[in-house]
Structure 1
Amino acid sequence: MINESSNLHDVSARYARLIGEEPPADLAPAPALQDKLPRDKDLLVSAVRSSPAYLAALENVRAAQSDLKVKRGAFSPTLDLRAHAEKTDNLNSVYGTHDKQSVALVFNINLFRGGADKARLGVSAERYNSALDLRDKACRDLQQTVRIASNDARKLSEQMGYLRQHALSTEKARDAYLKQFDIGQRSLLDVLDSENELYDSKRALVNAEYDNKLAQAACWPPPACCCPACS
């Protein structure tokens, strides 16, 4: 009992850290997600399209690619059209108003700048390659998470049937022990053992039910509000 109270305190503190408020005395039941989940073949597609981590990695790739194009642009020639107009009085000790106007085409090409542009291009290329690697890693991590969660949800759904049957059988055994205890065929220790076994079986069933809901929720790409059953 002391151990369970300690576990309750730990999860309550974690709830307050994540939600920003203390947990209520009675929490609403977790929503049913089994019928709301995408089909197995659509899980990865849905996750890739909606995962913030993967989408952020894609944006990093686009940003690095744009920066790389800018750095490459330093090696491209430029042609500028420049216009200049100037009006002065008493220019070079010559009294009167003087107007100067000019139009020019200026052609520039980067032949050599001490290797600075080449160094910047190399750094930008490395940053782009690193962004590609991080994007691929985010995709692999997402696929692994979704596949594991999908498999866990499927296995736990199968397991819950056996756990329900075990809890029902244990409850019937407990009831039989109580009747046998009343007529002196069972000891009090036998009854207490059957009560303890019934408690453990029901607890295992409840844990499996919520583990199954967690696995189903993990099949949805974060954040959880993407899940229509939670909205």
Structure 2
Amino acid sequence: MRVTKLVLSSCLAITPLALTPAASAISLEQSVAFAIDYSPEVLAQYSRYQSVIRDGDAAGGDRLPQVNLYAAAGVEETRYNNGNFIDPDDRRLNRTEMGVRVSQLLFDGFGTSANVKRLGYEAEAERLTLISRAENVSLDVTRTYLELLEAETLLQLANRNVLEHQEIYKDVLDKKGQGLASNSDLAQISARVATAQSSQIAAQNNLFDLKTQFLRQVGKPGSDLVLPKFDSALLPSTLDVAIQQAVDNHPEIKAAMIDMDAARQEIRREKGDYFPEVKIELHANKNRNVGNVIGPDEDMRAMLTLDYDLFNGFSTDARVESSAWRLEEARAIRVRTEREVREGTELAWNAYSMLEQQIRLLEQNVDAAKIAELGYIQQFNVGRRSLLDVLDAKVEVFLARQNYVRSKYDRTFAAYRLLNAMGVLTYALRVEHPEEWQKEGES
């Protein structure tokens, strides 16, 4: 049996979903900015950065004068070796002490200055790590944003696919009532309608899941999204250029290099214990009833002091060696980080290049599948094709469109992924870092 008419879409290809910006629309750039402010990972790293800055301030305080105030009050009792008290009638005195000491460090083997520099390097490394955290959050949000747009487009395809199958079902049902279609034709199209509806439900579920994920990352609902357009001028011309820019600019590599500088300063700090500590100390005391002498006891003195640790059980040697091994650890982390950045850049470059070629082929696939579908419909209408052939052709068109849509969004994400691998994604999205992030730690 043949059906005389099938209502099908005449469009040969489908383009990605383009939403009209509304008053409540949220762009990719806005989503990334919101997510960075909302991210607990970024907040935790910022807190870590600020903590290390304060540690550096505390270490720098050792280079300033130290002022200590001492006060005490109590009773004093003195007894000689013969057992007699100095005053049998009043053998206890009310003793008071009060003193102030001012000390200034002059030299400690450069340990304090090395420690200040070490913490300055660590603060800068934490700042760069903070920027890297923001880069990774930006990439995660970009992925979810594009997947959400893709899910909306695929749901549109699924909805249209269901409508087209339902129209065919109605037409076949009408023809069956007229004796122009068989039960097998009706069963076949019924099965295809159920399959299309199942795909529609799966597309809806995927969209709901992505909206939940977007809300968790950004803190705002993922509705009225706008199709982003990346600045292709920021993309490198070759893989070698991409890798070189990544090695030169990626904050993780810079942080790893600065960690090595911090480890070197830690070695200098530990070696400071090989030298004496020299200070100037000023003392002023105002005591009363001290040493069983009734009355005031006051003194002042200015001293140049030297404290030299001649032997401490080789503890200093062990700490210096320990610091040297931490330098080796930092060097290994630096090598590993560069390898990971190179690998990530190459993978992103390959994905972008291959998807660019794949899109052209998938576009041809959509056009060819649609032409085949229209030809099958014409042949079906003259009895040269079965209903099954037409439905199979329609499935081919639907799958071809799905693959084309996915590859379009995958290619867009691959471009953003390449920018992330180079460490410039937030720059490409024109998301400015807070002023506190842009201050380099003192070194």
AA of the residue aligned to 1:227: A
RMSD over aligned CA atoms reads: 3.2
Q: Contact conserved, 1:36 with 1:228, CA < 8 A, in 2?
A: no
Which structure has the highest helix share of the two?
1
Is 1:13 the counterpart of 2:212 in the alignment? yes
- The 5-angstrom pairing of residues 1-231 of structure 1 reads 1=199, 2-24=201-223, 26-40=224-238, 41-78=240-277, 80=278, 82=280, 84=282, 102=302, 104=304, 106=305, 108-221=307-420, 222=423, 224-227=425-428
Q: TM-score, normalised by structure 1?
A: 0.81
Aligned-residue identity in percent: 24
Residues 76, 170 of structure 1: CA spacing in aligned structure 2 closer, same or farther, 3 A cutoff?
same
Preserved CA contact (<8 Å) 1:33 1:213: no
Tell me, in whole angstroms, the C-alpha distance in 2 between the residues paired with 1:165 and 1:89. Answer: 99
Q: CA deviation at 1:101?
A: 5.3
SS in 1 for 2:280: strand
2:230 touches 2:416 (CA, 8 Å); kept in 1?
no
Q: State the alpha-carbon separation in 2 of the partners of residues 81 and 38 from structure 1.
A: 58
CA gap of 1:168–1:178, structure 2 versus 1, over 3 A, is same
Q: What SS is found at the alignment partner of 1:82?
A: strand
Counterparts of 2:397 and 2:213 in 1: how far apart (Å)? 30
| Secondary structure at the counterpart of residue 111 of structure 1 | coil
- Give the letter for the 2:235 counterpart: L
* Larger Rg belongs to: 2
TM-score calculated relative to the size of structure 2: 0.45
Tell me how far apart the structure 1 counterparts of residues 245 and 296 of structure 2 sit (CA, whole Å): 77
Q: For the Cα contact (< 8 Å) 1:32–1:229, is it kept in 2?
A: no
Measured at CA, do residues 124 and 175 of structure 1 come closer, stay the same or move farther in structure 2, by a change above 3 Å? same
Once residues 88 and 173 of structure 1 are traced to their aligned partners in structure 2, the CA distance between those partners, rounded to angstroms, is 106
Structure 1 residue 88 displacement after superposition: 7.4
User: Separation in 1 of the partners of 2:298 and 2:430?
Assistant: 79
Structure 1, residues 102-161: CA drift from partner, whole Å, max 9, x if none? 564x55544311222223223322322222222221111111000110011111111111
Distance (whole Å) between structure 1 residues aligned to residue 331 and residue 242 of structure 2: 23
Determine the C-alpha separation between the residues in 2 that align with 1:89 and 1:197. 100
CA contact (8 A) 1:156 1:212 kept: yes
Long gaps (5+) in structure 1: none
Gaps of 5+ in 2: 1-198, 433-443
